Structure 1
């Protein structure tokens, strides 16, 4: 069962139009399908990338990192200009998963995770 937040037919059409994703993203998409991990999806990831690029973002904050998928999309936009992404996550298993995939994508030096609840971390 798919749990898309957008119309599935439109989502599928847009995914077909996208160029192939880098290996780390494609691998994470495959793993997520196999294990039922939550992902924003390639269309939404590309949208995050474009927003960060258009605004010239150099810093990003992600609350709830899950797998690192959205983080990789954001880092694709901000890391080449020396940017950095900080994530806040309370689940140690998700932290480990995100660190692994972000490092595999080549962005480990631009990525930091704060372990804990977001409302405490942002005080």
Structure 2
């Protein structure tokens, strides 16, 4: 079933989800086109079954993106290997510094958030 045929048979959001899922499966997992389309439709059907009828907000996913490549950079950072990480991940040295600073800030906020969670309960 081609993308145009699929588009006419379902709500636009679900069709778009199915098409993007199929494209990701082909590009990232090497799944054959027809099988990827079938799996994309299955994912869209499951999301419709799980979240159908609800208004769903999709955040931009900045912290999610951070938690993938950027988290890998941060995890491999040893305090002196910024240049090596820039080469390994194909980013600028300045970008490595920004990533390390951002992940540190996120870690600090996460840890400090936990320090004050029960403070209101004590009053």
When normalised by structure 1's length, the TM-score is: 0.26
**Structure with greater strand percent:** 1
**Structure with greater helix percent:** 2
